[in-house]
Amino acid sequence: MMPGTEVSLALIIISLGVIGVILSFSLTDKRKSQISLILAGIIVLVGVVRFGQHSLSRHRWNRRMKTYSQERPADMEALKKRLQERAQENKKAAEPPKTK
């Protein structure tokens, strides 16, 4: 998954859990209210864990890339150039064909 999508998914899971917590208080049956509160808490916990995992992996990736760029600046320049060329090729391929 793309980084932005990963973060968005974690935040959506957290928000669904928070909505579940809020709605659990509207139930009149105490047992059902407690069960829904526990389930909503688990959903929030899953979202927080996903968000934390993504943040840690992103931090490790940035640290690795920083170390790599300091050790091999020539390789990084070649990599940047290749990525720019690929982006331009993809941009050209995504353009609709010209009609006459």
- Whether residue 95 lies inside any domain: the answer is no
Please tell me which residue, 54 or 3, carries the higher pLDDT value: 54
Q: How many structural domains does the chain have?
A: 1
Q: How confident is the model at residue 86 (pLDDT cuts 50, 70, 90)?
A: confident
Q: What is the mean pLDDT of residues 72-80?
A: 79
Mean pLDDT, residues 33-37? 94
The DSSP line for 35-86 is HHHHHHHHHHHHHHHHHHHHHHHHHHHHHHHHHHHHH-HHHHHHHHHHHHHH
pLDDT of the residue at 1 = 61
Q: Could you give the percent of the chain with pLDDT greater than 90?
A: 48
Q: Is residue 54 part of a domain?
A: yes
Domain containing 31: what range?
A: 3-89
Q: Is 11 contained in some domain? A: yes
pLDDT for residue 24: 92
Does residue 100 lie within any of the structural domains? no
